[in-house]
Amino acid sequence: MAGALQSTLQMAIESVELGEGALRVLGAYYLRRSSERGKAETPLDLFARIARKISEGELIREGPTEAEYYEGVFLSLMTSMKFIPSPQIMLNAGSREPCLFSCLGLRLPLDVPPDLFEVLKTASSAVRKGCQVALKLKTEGEIAGLHHLAGSVAGMLEGFITRPSSVSISLDLGSFPAFQFFREHNPLFSPHLTAYAQISGRFLSALKRGRRIELITEEGTFRRVRAETLLAELLSMSRRTGFPSYFLIRGAWRGDRDAAATPCGDNFLGNGQTCVAGNINLSRCLKERGEKTVLDWEELGDVVRKALRFLIDACEISTGPNGEKPHGETVRLSLGVIGFGEVLLRMGIPYESGETLRIADEIASFLRKEALKEFHKLEEESGEREKVLLGLAPGAEAAVIAGTSPGLEPASCLLILLSRLSGGEGVLDLEHVFGGDLRITDLLSGDYIDILLDSGKIQDAKSLSDEVKALLPSPYDVDPLFHMKLQSVFQRHFDGGVFKNIPSPDSEEDMAELFLSALRLDIKTLHFMPQLRPGGQFDIQELFYDPFLCEGTGIFSSKGGKGENRK
């Protein structure tokens, strides 16, 4: 090993210090029981395995010297917790035929049974390799019994897909059977499935004008129904259970009307299209200026460029679910962020404020500019391909590993995730979260954590200061419209999707108004959180994305028990 790489490895050894939650996630699902050295894999071994494999993309584009250099760069990027790759990359990097794609898009022809079963076989193969699947249910013409067919597909998926939230189904709202499917599908019985009600331009037009829409019935005849009546029924279901999610298709795809939203809502894939994903940790791009904490834009730019190169290299070396090499006509990435809530917390910015929207716009705009600059640089010789670069997934697992807040959510969500990982028992490991900042630890003292985990809201707690309530709100303490505005700010600059949990409001009228606000804000996907139960009680597993249930990850146990991943 060259001197430079050896030096990087030594620094990495000294820098990897992970919290209890991170070690639980990595140890249970990603650390191989037998590494190349014949011993159980350590977190450093994991990151080294990933860096070594991803740098092979440089062999294709540049040569051995660049490959060795970027092996060190990628290793440093991960061990410093500035970038966390997708679960699929952590799971499969180093395999003989590494499927590193976070998701595969497939068109599911319901009216052609032989093709349908072939697609399901491909979906099964993808999920077995840890890859999510985005299914677009499609027929050549409207057919009666669509909800039975869609329900049968969901049932068949139950038979061979055991990983939670690993498949999404996007279904057009063009028929009564489609509504019937959403009405009859119980998300608690199908945890592997995320369903999107795909809102068409025709439906939106009828909704805006207060008109009726013509839908096919179960018998194959047509009937006209007010669009707002149908939407009210769907929103009522979302308010109670968080199901279905919504895919507002206007502008969400790039010329492919068969695109389906990924389970995490961070990208939109046509038939056979794939994407790779990873998250930049914004909280590791801060610096002290006098008594203030500010963003280090130079550091953030450097991380964006390296992370983008990492994902493009992953595209170069990845195989499809059946070992095939995908065609490289389009580059589809989901380069997202974690740690936004921690950035606000450490900068002393109240989460629900105009300053939050301002800094969000600065960050998202900067990410877009730097990502485009690096992409054009890398594509100079090969000729520029069509691209999607930025997409934001929930980021729950990445947040736990890095000890920071997930996605765009308030910093309090990390505490909820850690509580879930510990089974709700014991004292949370606060030493390895939020950069070990003692100022934040002081804010978390007293009754804050107990109130947050017991009731789901903190604003009515008399024992907490106004400062704590402003800096560390629960998602349910924040106006749902503000959540949407924050999502919209990032969506303006991201060419993929942007995931954001939206708490359901108190009334169905408010729910409908929120939906119309999403249209005005040009949001592409909507994910509503169910209402808090009477008395403020809630189930963390149901209401907050959980690294075990709400991310399409490689976290499942083989028959050999936890941690026995594929070699």
The answer to whether 270 and 259 are in contact (CB under 8 A) is yes
| pLDDT the model gives residue 425 | 64
Q: What pLDDT shows up at residue 429?
A: 79
In terms of Cα–Cα distance, which of 513, 499, 510 is closest to 196?
A: 499
φ/ψ of 529, rounded to 5, equals -90, 140
Rounded to 10°, the helix 176-184/146-160 angle is: 40
In single-letter form, the type of residue at position 73 comes to V
Helix axes 412-421, 340-347, angle to 10 degrees: 130
pTM comes to 0.88
Q: CA neighbours within 13 Å on the CB side: how many for 507?
A: 3
Q: What is the greatest pairwise CA distance in the chain?
A: 74
Q: In a structure prediction context, what are the per-residue pLDDT tens digits for the chain, which is 567 residues long?
A: 455 555 555 555 555 678 888 988 888 888 887 655 557 888 999 999 999 999 999 988 788 889 999 999 999 999 999 999 999 999 999 888 899 999 999 887 766 666 777 888 888 888 888 888 898 876 545 455 555 566 566 666 655 555 555 788 887 776 677 777 777 766 656 666 788 888 877 788 888 888 888 877 666 677 888 888 888 888 888 887 777 888 875 544 444 567 889 988 999 998 889 999 999 999 999 999 998 999 999 999 999 999 999 999 999 999 988 777 765 567 899 999 999 999 999 999 999 999 999 999 999 999 999 999 999 988 875 556 778 999 999 999 999 999 999 999 999 999 988 888 777 665 677 888 898 887 888 888 778 998 998 888 999 999 999 999 999 999 999 999 999 999 999 999 999 999 999 998 888 889 889 988 998 898 999 998 877 654 444 443 443 333 333 333 332 223 333 333 323
- The encoded tokens of residue 241 equal 């259970």
Helices and strands counted in the chain (H then E): 22, 17
Task: Point out which residues pair with 335 in neighbouring strands.
Answer: 278, 390
The total of other beta-carbon atoms located within 10 Å of residue 162's CB is 13
Nearest to 346 by CA among 441, 416, 440, 474: 440
- If phi > 0 it is left, if psi is from -120 to 50 it is alpha, else beta; for residue 504 that is beta
Q: What is the pLDDT of residue 278?
A: 97
Structural element, H or E, at residue 223: strand 222-226
Angle between helices 354-378 and 480-493 (to 10 degrees): 20
The contacts of residue 330 (CB under 8 Å, 6+ apart) are 273, 385, 386, 387, 388
Alpha-carbon torsion (199, 201, 206, 210), positive or negative: positive
> For residue 262, which amino acid is it?
T
HEC string of 499-510? Answer: CCEEECCCCHHH
pLDDT value at residue 204: 81
Bridge partners (DSSP) listed for residue 332: 388
Look at residue 119 and give its three-state secondary structure.
helix
Provide the 10 A C-beta neighbour count for residue 518: 21
DSSP 353: S
Cα–Cα distances (Å) from 77 to 24, 62, 367, 482, 508, in that order, read 21, 20, 17, 33, 46
